[in-house]
Structure 1
Amino acid sequence: MTRRHDPHRPLWLCRACGGPWPCGPARLTLLTEYGADGRVALCIHLAGLLYTAVEDLYRLAPQDAPKPAALHERFLGWAAPRRPRSEGGGPA
């Protein structure tokens, strides 16, 4: 039986692989669960988890908690809906 890549709170490490959650396999699972049309819903879900993770991590060790920008990238940066590029390669 394959172990699920779920978060271990309050450390926010993956229960299966021990990496920072959401790890690569957890991200793939989330993308599959929410589907191509569910990116906005996925980001809303992840934003709620980010808020909880910030509370947990700063309560555990405020001096050693990850920087806000790193947590944002870890939880939301990878999942944000991407805008298609214009044909010229510049901003859309």
Structure 2
Amino acid sequence: MTAPPDPAGGADTAIEVELALSGRTVTVPPGTSILSAVEEAGVQVLSSCREGTCGTCETPVLDGVPEHRDSLLTERERAAGDTMLICVSRARTPRLVLEL
């Protein structure tokens, strides 16, 4: 699954995602979803739609700033930045720490 384009028009760049519970760090290449990269690293995550509409892959964000590309979270939830849908969203910072 590829990540949808940045709604602000910026280019995707590689990001580092630290998985706090499993102790792994995953590099997510441009155009690849965080969910896909995490699964390729062998970490199982519940997911369903892979389109940012169902909320199954909603994941707590412990550090970093998510770039929300889903159509489910409210503006208040997006502004809080403490959760994200990893099937489509990326990061505004070069590194995220997720509760995975």
- Which structure features the higher share of strand residues? 2
TM-score normalised according to structure 2 size: 0.24
Q: Which has the higher contact order (CA 8 A, sep 6+)?
A: 2
- Which structure features the higher share of helix residues? 1
Tell me which structure has the larger Cα radius of gyration.
1
